[in-house]
């Protein structure tokens, strides 16, 4: 116990310096509002004190505009299976990182726009669209033209986190986002980090969205749920000469990725608790039992390594931080009535030919 506390003290000291660093990789197009809780871990305190919302967003935004709106989304998420729930957490991330949290990820191909985001290469295995559509159709019947698809994506990501953590990750999600009308496959690769990204690149790509290293490491814990296609990490399997993946896991993945038909199989992100959003991810990083080079990279710089150990040792602190970082991610380049709309159907913009 004393030894554990000593390690924690070292980790806290490291974090003190890490959290004072400013943004990486140059300009940040969407600086987040100053947060009163930039130290991590914060004192053990009541759950979920969210970062101040971006301009215009507010907790309980639909309370008077469409009472029960958040409950409609939660009910739609509740009945989805664990894999779809994981997909909803990822959908929110992909939406926010490409053109801001504006539901651009939901727009389907049309004659006018044959290559939307959902056809970009990093979209591989995006799932959960039908949950968003189900919630939207109930909400349109109840309060037509009121609840944006961007907010439904944000609520669904929050609710999926809640269910997959058995209620341990519970936080309020500010709302009031409008939906965008531009969606381009060509914008996915420049904005979404690839699975082979090193730590410098990861920091820079998150900083470009107003998210710091603490947020980045906390959000990476989402790789404790869901699945991946083998093609996303096959370069790390035997006979790779450079991979630092645990050899036992690598051999097992190699077997599970072998397919007689040449199909791109899928495997669980977290070999131990695949359907739980939990801090097991950080144990996996430490024991080198993670799929992507971008996961393994978190051990390769002092600040991210300290954050990985802190999250592994103090799951509650990580759970709170995860919620805060989701809220902060939800502030990314949010649209307003001036440059957005409330879509009638989430797959298509209003009043445009398609
Ligand atoms: C740090 C940079 C990140 C990289 C490089 C990355 C990359 C990936 C890749 C390659 C996959 C597998 C896709 C496939 O082959 O099927 C994946 C899955 C997933 N990612 Fe990430 N990701 C990152 C951050 C995040 C963040 C911030 C979140 C959410 C907060 C997230 C949530 C997920 C989830 C839940 C899955 C599983 C999805 C499913 O089962 O449908 N990831 N990620
Ligand atoms: C993702 O993109 C691929 C390739 O462009 C496409 O075949 C696939 O249908 C897309 N996936 C989704 C969920 O839209
Ligand atoms: C490999 O597949 C087996 C059989 O489906 C499964 O039990 C095991 O968890 C998988 N292992 C990994 C690491 O994906
Ligand atoms: C990382 O930590 C090690 C050991 O504490 C130290 O020697 C090294 O200078 C640190 N590197 C950086 C870039 O701070």
Give the DSSP per-residue string, 165-211: TTTSS-----B--BB-S---GGGHHHHSPPTT--HHHHHHHHHTTT-
| Fold match, 9-17+193-325 / 69-191 | no
Is the shortest distance between the CB of 54 and ligand 2 below 6 Å? no
Residues of the chain above pLDDT 70, percent? 84
Q: Contact at 8 Å (CB) between 92 and 222?
A: no
Contacts of range 304-307, beta carbons closer than 8 Å, 24 or more positions apart? 304/199, 304/203, 304/213, 304/216, 304/217, 306/11, 306/14, 306/15, 306/18, 307/15, 307/18, 307/40, 307/213, 307/214, 307/217, 307/218
Residue 21: pLDDT band with limits 50, 70, 90: very low
What angle do helix axes 213-220 and 302-313 make, rounded to 10 degrees? 50
The answer to whether the annotation marks 193 as part of a ligand binding site is: yes
Residue 295 has pLDDT above 80, yes or no: yes
Residue 55: which pLDDT band, with cuts at 50, 70 and 90? low
For residue 67, pLDDT beyond 80:
yes
Please say if the pLDDT value at position 50 is more than 70: no
Choose between 126 and 54: higher pLDDT: 126
Q: Is the pLDDT of residue 44 over 90?
A: no
Query: Chain-centre distance of CA 143, in angstroms?
Result: 28
pLDDT at 33 over 70: no
Question: Which residue puts its alpha carbon closest to atom 4 of ligand 3?
Answer: 256
- Give the H/E segment covering residue 268: strand 266-268
Mean residue pLDDT of the chain comes to 87
Does this model's pTM top 0.85? yes
| pLDDT at 292 exceeding the cut of 90 | yes
Lowest mean pLDDT among 56-70, 118-132, 235-249: 118-132
Give the least confident one: 245-249, 309-313, 348-352: 348-352
Q: CA-based diameter of the chain, in Å?
A: 67
Could you tell me if residue 26 is left (phi over 0), alpha (psi between -120 and 50 degrees) or otherwise beta? left
Does ligand 2 have an atom closer than 6 angstroms to the CB of 105?
A: no
31-39 — which CB contacts under 8 Å span 24+ positions?
A: 31/210, 32/210, 32/211, 32/328, 32/331, 33/331, 35/324, 35/328, 37/324, 38/214, 39/15
CATH code that applies to domain 69-191: 1.10.520.10
* Consecutive H or E run containing 322: helix 315-329
Q: Which atom of ligand 3 is nearest to the CA of 256?
A: 1
pLDDT, position 351: 84
Ligand 2 and 319: CB distance under 6 A: no
Tokens at 74, concatenated: 């939660």
Give the confidence band of 9 by pLDDT, cuts at 50, 70, 90.
very low
State whether the beta carbon of 126 lies less than 6 angstroms from ligand 2. Answer: yes
Could you tell me which of 299, 313, 296 has the C-alpha nearest to residue 7?
313
Task: Tell me the C-alpha distance between 197 and 192, whole Å.
Answer: 10
Q: Given this model, what pLDDT does residue 352 score?
A: 73
| pLDDT above 60 for 285 | yes
Which comes out higher in pLDDT, residue 20 or 259? 259
pLDDT tens profile 261-274: 999 999 999 999 99
Pick the more confident residue, 27 or 176.
176
Q: Which atom of ligand 2 is nearest to the CA of 123?
A: 1
Is 100:33 a contact under the CB 8 Å cutoff? no
Q: Which band of pLDDT confidence, cut at 50, 70 and 90, is reported for residue 34?
A: very low
**Across the strands, what pairs with 228?**
267
Please say if the pLDDT value at position 30 is more than 90.
no
Residue of 85, 90, 94, 328 with catalytic role: 94
| pLDDT value for 52 | 52
pLDDT digits (tens, 9 = 90+) for 151-164: 999 999 999 999 99
Structural domain boundaries in the chain: 9-17+193-325, 69-191
Phi then psi for 268, rounded to 5 degrees? -70, 145
Decide if pLDDT at 207 tops 50. yes
Pocket of ligand 3, candidates 230, 252, 272: which has the most ligand atoms within 8 Å of its Cβ, to mutate? 252
Q: Could you confirm whether 94 is annotated as catalytic?
A: yes
CA distance 225 to 82: 8
Whether ligand 1 lies within 6 angstroms of the CB of 23 is answered as: no
CA-closest residue to ligand 2 atom 7: 119
From the candidate CATH numbers 3.20.20.70, 1.10.420.10, 1.10.760.10, 2.30.30.40, the one assigned to the domain spanning 9-17+193-325 = 1.10.420.10
Alpha carbons 130 and 327: distance in angstroms, whole number: 23
Please report the pLDDT score of residue 301 as a whole number: 97
pLDDT digits (tens, 9 = 90+) for 88-147: 999 999 999 999 999 999 999 999 999 999 999 877 689 999 999 999 999 999 999 999
């Amino acid at each position: 116990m004393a030894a554990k506390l000593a390690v924690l003290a070292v980790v806290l000291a490291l974090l003190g310096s890490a959290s004072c660093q400013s943004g990486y990789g140059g300009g940040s197009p969407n600086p987040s509002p100053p947060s009163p809780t930039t130290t991590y871990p914060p004192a053990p305190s009541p759950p979920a004190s969210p970062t101040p919302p971006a301009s215009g967003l507010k907790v309980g935004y639909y309370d008077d505009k469409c009472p029960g709106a958040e409950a409609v989304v939660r009910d739609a998420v509740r009945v989805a299976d664990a894999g779809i729930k994981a997909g909803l957490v990822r959908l929110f991330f992909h939406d926010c990182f490409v053109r801001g949290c504006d539901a651009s990820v939901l727009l389907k191909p049309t004659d006018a726009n044959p290559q939307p985001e959902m056809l970009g290469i990093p979209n591989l295995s995006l799932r959960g669209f039908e949950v968003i559509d189900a919630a939207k159709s109930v909400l349109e019947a109840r309060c037509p033209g009121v609840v944006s698809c961007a907010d439904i994506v944000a609520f669904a990501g929050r609710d999926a986190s809640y269910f997959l953590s058995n209620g341990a990750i519970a936080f309020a999600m500010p709302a009031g986002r409008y939906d965008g009308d531009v969606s381009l496959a060509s914008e996915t690769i420049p904005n979404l980090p690839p699975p082979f990204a090193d730590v410098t690149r990861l920091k820079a790509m998150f900083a470009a969205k107003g998210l710091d290293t603490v947020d980045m490491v906390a959000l990476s814990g989402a790789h404790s749920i869901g699945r991946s296609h083998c093609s996303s990490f096959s370069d790390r399997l035997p006979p790779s000469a450079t991979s630092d993946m645990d050899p036992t896991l690598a051999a097992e993945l190699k077997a599970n990725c072998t397919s007689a038909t040449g199909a791109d199989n899928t495997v669980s992100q977290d070999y131990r608790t695949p359907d739980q959003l939990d801090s097991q991810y950080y144990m996996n990083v430490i024991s080198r039992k993670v799929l992507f080079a971008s996961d393994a990279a978190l051990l390769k710089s002092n600040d991210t390594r300290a954050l990985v150990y802190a999250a592994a040792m103090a799951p509650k602190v990580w759970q709170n931080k995860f919620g805060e970082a989701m809220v902060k991610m939800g502030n990314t380049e949010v649209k307003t009535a001036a440059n957005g709309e409330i879509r009638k159907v989430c797959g298509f913009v209003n009043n445009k030919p398609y």
